Structure 1
Amino acid sequence: AVGLALFALFCAALMWAAWRALRNSTSPLASGAVASLAAFAVSSGASAVSFRWFGSGLMFFFAAALVTRFALAARREPDSAKPEPHAAKHTPYASRLTRRAAALAPRAAMFKPLRLPHALARRGHALGLAAALVVLVAMCVQAASVVLLAEAQGSADGARADSLYRSSLAVNPLDPATHYNYGVWLLLQKREREAVPHLGYALARGFHTSTCYEYLAGAESNAGQTEAAERTLAEGARVYPRSVFMRVRHASALARLGRTQDSELEMRAALLLDSRAARGWRWLIDEDIDAAIAAARRDPSVPMPGELQPEDAVFAVLEENERRFPEAVTSGWRARMRNSTFLRMP
């Protein structure tokens, strides 16, 4: 409760500062800083990734510092904007430069540096330098982790890719993006049990699209953790109550656990949202892609798998189904796609 109250106070202070900055400053930098804060707030409301990303946090506080500076300058401006007594004494024959200097004198007074004792000033410089070095080291570590991650994603050698992923995590073990990409890679390598902790770490730290929930649930299901998979999908359906895909996937997980009544209730909710998409997802999840394509050709009320949204969730389901339908890996739609890809290679 205390943390929530302090967070609300912090947000209220930023909103007040933004309002004062926009009201009293005509500088485009002020409106740009306020727009940056607004964009950051919107993106953080959709996903926590932007707030957890180190570079985004730095930019947020930089923009907040600019907004606060403009707000405080605007607050001091009315008192200091009064003309000096000597300003009225200028004659029409005074030089333009003198009049300009007199007009700017009150504003310049606002920016007079604070006089600090020499020892305190030296400590302040040392502290600023130390903070800059800490930021530099942190950014270098982050850059090294990102480079290793990119090399791992581009490597065709499984052993080398695994080593690069591990090296990236060794450099920055707190990066959820590396955990997520490594978890998906492990899932594609059929190492589901190893993938579960990495995907769970990423899901708990901002990677929570419906496809992220499906990847974790698929890894848990294929690793034999069916109850954990159902809990993951139940959370996903709670976070995205209007997602037809999440509802149908959860209904399927409940049916596999023998909870028929709960499964029917969840499927009914999906049908109410979009009956056509719900039927298409159920065919794809329970019977795999070849049966889903055949059903769509027979019945116009069943969409083709390519019509389902989100599109990346279709591939996540197909990856999970390869464990349940091993014969489908080398036949049907997958075989046709593999052959067409091979024929297009130079």
Structure 2
Amino acid sequence: MKAIVQDVYGSCDVLEIRDIEKPATPSAGERDVLIRVRAAAVDAGVWHLMRGRPYLVRLMGYGLRAPRERVRGREVAGMVEAVGGEVTRFRPGDEVFGFCEASFAEYARGPEDRFLAKPANLGIEESAAIPISGVTALQAVRDVGRVRPGQQVLVIGAAGGVGTYAVQIAKAYGAVVTGVCSTGKTELVRSIGADEVIDYTREDFAGGRRYDLIVDTAGHRSLTRLRRALAPRGTLVIVGSEGRGRWLGGTDRALRAVLLSPFTGRRLRGLIAAERLEDLEVLRDLVEAGKVRPVVDRTHPLSEVPEVIRSLEQGNARGKAVITVSRDTA
């Protein structure tokens, strides 16, 4: 089968499309499912795993000197090809989506409790764009942010993969939402329900109004500026770890926020998202109710994965980029 493979950590140049062995068919005593991949999405975590940066990633079990899992990709949507004998929730032919390592390939395999039946009102490509970014946004807004109806919520990086979900989820929970993005993305952010949009190239989000909840997905604003925009009893949630430090990347900013929090009267928090199936189910319900919809910028064939990740690295994200594997293999 064809797959995007890397043998060493590095830039997008280490990614190659190759023919490799197909994952083994699950046996009678296993709870795994084999997925015929039809679409897979690109998230920021793919970039970190490709680079092996920050080095903390390597210490978390992904491989010290080289990637332990050589095929990239973490989100998937496709058709169940085969199931292990202990699988009870799926059968061959079912369309599913979920969390799955090594999804930039024609086939991928994982435990059945990592997948759900895809949303009834979405195509396979949109379904692939939900799992990582959608669940991250849900945990930032609902769990850490503790959003409540009527609150003023600011989403920084509102046009990105996590940001587009954060705007819609906050609206679904009854908040008044302001999105922060660049000039070329303001109409996109309005189109997904933001009550107001701030173009950060022309206006300082910290220059006036105070917000009950700030979700920062952009990764480079100083804590001082973020606190200026936060209401006296407000909550700041820092999502992701963008930064240039080799060991901690941008996680040091979240750590400083947590240490500072007791002295400010505000809740300053960092988020390390967990891939929970129950949260993915909440998102599917929101999607099927028409309250949340994935924003898919473009679809790309498997061969373009390196260029897609390079574009993400350069900050060009408009929602999610989706890899349509079937285009390479039709």
TM-score, length of structure 2 as denominator length: 0.26
Larger fraction in strand: 2
Larger fraction in helix: 1
